[in-house]
Amino acid sequence: MKRRSRSSTCPECGGDLLYMPSIKRYVCQSCGVMYTHQELMEEWRKLREELGLIREEEEDRRREYLKWWLKSKKEK
């Protein structure tokens, strides 16, 4: 019997994950990748870290651009 997991999205492709109790793994219905619970949590942690770094870099660029934009014409 298949049961939907709480983490129902594959971190690899975005497909649906199903928990397979017989093998004690989450299986992606799109790409076929399999994760134990621990592996799945680790993948999500890595993705969150990567997204956090990307957001910080975007914010830094926005701040720098705003500083540049607000400078007087003489300073540009």
- Per-residue pLDDT tens digits for 17-76: 999 999 999 999 999 999 999 999 999 888 888 888 778 888 888 999 998 888 876 665
* Domain membership flag for residue 10: yes
Host domain of residue 59: 3-69
- The H or E element that residue 19 is part of is strand 16-20
* Domain membership flag for residue 58: yes
* Domain membership flag for residue 41: yes
Which letter, b or e, does each residue of 56-73 get, where b requires 16 or more Cβ atoms within 10 Å of its Cβ?
eeeeeeeeeeeeeeeeee
* Domain membership flag for residue 74: no
Q: What is the distance between the alpha carbons of residues 41 and 7, in angstroms, rounded to a whole number?
A: 9
Read off the amino acid at residue 46.
K
Alpha helices in 1-76 (DSSP H): 37-70
Is this model's pTM higher than 0.75 or not? no
- Total domains present in the chain: 1
